[in-house]
Amino acid sequence: MDIPTISPGEKGSYEKKQAILSFARRYPLLGKARADEIAGIWMNNDTDGSPSAHILGIARTIGGAPEL
């Protein structure tokens, strides 16, 4: 999966950054449908395209997201 980097748009707390990176690490275990469901809830379905791809893009920006 080719995930571009995405700016988080705001300076997040340490805890929020850790939650994003944790989601990225667990993504392969969730499957796309479940990951999109979780990411959509977290983001209030406020994104175009795949919510999980958006979160993974932010994870790549803040550092440490695994290659998928």
pLDDT by position in tens, the chain (length 68): 677 777 777 777 889 889 999 999 999 999 999 999 999 888 876 667 789 998 999 998 887 555 55
Domain of residue 36: give its range. 31-63
DSSP 48: S
Q: How many CB atoms lie within 10 A of CB 8?
A: 15
Flag whether 56 is in a domain. Answer: yes
Question: What pLDDT score does 55 carry?
Answer: 92
Does residue 17 form part of some domain?
A: no
Q: Quick check: helix, strand or coil at residue 62?
A: helix
pLDDT score recorded for residue 68: 55
Domain count, the chain: 1
Measured from the Cβ of residue 5, the count of other Cβ atoms closer than 10 Å reads 13
**pLDDT score recorded for residue 19:** 92
Q: Tell me the pTM.
A: 0.79
- For residue 5, the model assigns a pLDDT of 76
Quick one: tokens of 43? 């983001």
Tokens standing for 21? 């990176």
